[in-house]
């Protein structure tokens, strides 16, 4: 196991960075983010977040991230992906860095990158067979389980309404799953605006408009009575039981009008601000739990279990982590988010200091799900070859 570093990527039409936070058994993984204003600092933060998310899910892979400062709507994607593949090979990351989809980098882009890298085996849930992103659906499983765990463990009644930030791969899948589980989405935002609908958003109709991309919220508001368009930042000023941040880090800086914050984005609330929100009576679900469905599902994609079986395991792992973190929070007096990050560091340091012996603690958590096939999955993780 070793610390990683930063590689500046020469991509011709764009500037980018690969940040490998740690290599665990020679591997690191994380998504590719393409945004005009992405920075090296943001990329570093997201790579570290991936390390901790994987550690809390007991997956022995280090965190990484690629940030590319380009407009995802105007960049020549095929040339960019080809250049990225060449840079990964040039810097020795072929077979060591496992890419994923992210903001501005779709699952179709991920497929093209893996093909350009010549990977025969991929840590990805992408199949090209479903309307909704399988990665998004996996993250939605950990999101829903986190919310239901908070309802149970905090004895909170009446969590019914949701304000959702973001309606891309993650947001659309979250909207679908929230609707399926009986939650009423009353506000949805994207990079242009916030849609507020009374009595709630018709999720099925909004999903039908996904082909129109970022125009879907505007089109919905024009066609559906009782709908209003506000500025994009208004989403967290809408009164709702649950707020679901789904965009960039540190998106929540004030006190949102909700009872629970349950992220599908990485680090939308700082640990210090989460502490103050908790004192104000707002439960903040740790992002490294509520977003972990993607990494868990990606690891499980190496096994022979079906996607539906993987989703059941994601629910189980998420619930176990929520119970453990909340019980330790009551013992230590720390905030829930702080305790989750402390526990992630504890598990990671155990693996880092003890090596193969520390791996036993990871195996114990996977075995506790009572699914024997998971040992085969971890063996494939440790012996990964592209």
111-149 pLDDT, tens digit per residue, is: 899 888 887 544 555 444 457 888 899 999 999 999 999
The 10s digit of each residue's pLDDT in 36-92 is 999 999 999 999 999 999 999 999 999 999 999 999 989 999 999 999 999 999 999
Across the chain, what does the average pLDDT equal? 89
CATH 3.40.50.720 domain range(s) in the chain: 134-293
CA distances from 288 to 49, 58, 189, 339, 344 (A): 7, 12, 22, 11, 9
Structural contact between residues 288 and 340, judged by C-beta atoms closer than 8 angstroms:
yes
Provide mean pLDDT across the span 169-176. 94
289: which residues sit within 8 A by CB, 6+ positions away? Answer: 56, 142, 146, 318, 321, 322, 325, 340
For residue 337, the model assigns a pLDDT of 96
Provide mean pLDDT across the span 335-341. 96
Q: Which two tokens stand for residue 311?
A: 């989703």
Residue 382 has pLDDT above 70, yes or no: no
Q: What is the SS3 assignment for 284? A: strand
Residue 250 has pLDDT above 90, yes or no: yes
159: which residues sit within 8 A by CB, 6+ positions away? Answer: 147, 150, 151, 183, 241, 242, 259, 260
- Predicted confidence band at 206 (pLDDT cuts at 50, 70, 90)? very high
Provide mean pLDDT across the span 180-208. 96
Q: Pick the more confident residue, 268 or 357.
A: 268
CATH H superfamily, domain 134-293: NAD(P)-binding Rossmann-like Domain (3.40.50.720)
Say which CATH topology domain 2-117 has: Rossmann fold (3.40.50)
Say how many Å lie between the first and final Cα of the chain, rounded. Answer: 19
Residue 264 has pLDDT above 50, yes or no: yes
Provide mean pLDDT across the span 208-224. 93
CA 53 remoteness from chain centre: 9
CATH 3.40.50.10860 domain range(s) in the chain: 2-117
Residue 368 has pLDDT above 90, yes or no: no
Provide mean pLDDT across the span 276-296. 96
């Amino acid at each position: 196991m070793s610390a990683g570093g930063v590689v500046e990527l020469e991509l011709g039409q764009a500037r980018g960075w690969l940040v490998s936070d740690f290599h665990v058994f020679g591997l690191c993984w994380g998504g590719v983010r393409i945004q005009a204003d992405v920075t090296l600092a943001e990329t570093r933060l997201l790579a570290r977040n991936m390390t901790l998310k994987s550690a809390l899910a007991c997956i022995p892979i280090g965190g990484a991230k690629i940030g590319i400062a380009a407009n995802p709507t105007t960049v020549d994607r095929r040339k960019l992906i080809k250049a990225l593949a060449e840079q990964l090979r040039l810097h020795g990351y072929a077979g060591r860095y496992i890419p994923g989809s992210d903001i501005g980098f779709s699952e179709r882009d991920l497929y093209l990158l893996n093909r350009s890298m010549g990977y025969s085996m991929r840590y990805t849930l992408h199949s090209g067979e479903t309307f909704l992103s399988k990665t998004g659906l996996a993250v939605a499983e950990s999101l829903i389980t986190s919310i239901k765990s908070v309802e149970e463990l905090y004895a909170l009644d009446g969590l019914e309404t949701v304000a959702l930030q973001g309606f891309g791969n993650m947001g659309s899948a979250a909207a679908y799953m929230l609707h399926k589980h009986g939650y009423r989405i009353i506000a949805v935002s994207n990079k242009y605006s916030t849609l507020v609908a009374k009595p709630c958003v018709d999720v099925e109709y909004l999903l039908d408009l996904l082909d129109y991309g970022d125009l879907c919220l505007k089109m919905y508001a024009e066609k559906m009575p009782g709908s209003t368009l506000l500025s994009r930042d208004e989403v967290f000023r809408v009164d709702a039981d649950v707020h679901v941040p789904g965009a960039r880090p540190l998106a929540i800086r004030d006190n949102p009008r909700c009872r629970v914050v349950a992220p599908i984005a990485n680090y939308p609330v700082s640990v210090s601000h989460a502490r103050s929100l908790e004192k104000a009576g707002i439960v903040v679900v740790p992002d490294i739990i509520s977003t972990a469905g993607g990494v868990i599902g990606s690891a499980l994609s190496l096994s022979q279990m079906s996607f539906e079986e993987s989703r059941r395991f994601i629910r189980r792992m998420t619930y176990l982590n929520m119970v453990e973190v909340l019980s330790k929070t009551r013992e230590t007096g720390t905030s829930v988010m702080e305790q989750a990050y402390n526990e992630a560091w504890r598990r990671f340091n155990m693996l880092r200091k003890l090596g193969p012996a520390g791996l036993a603690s990871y195996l114990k958590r996977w075995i506790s799900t009572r699914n024997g096939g998971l040992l085969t999955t971890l063996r494939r993780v440790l012996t990964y070859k592209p």
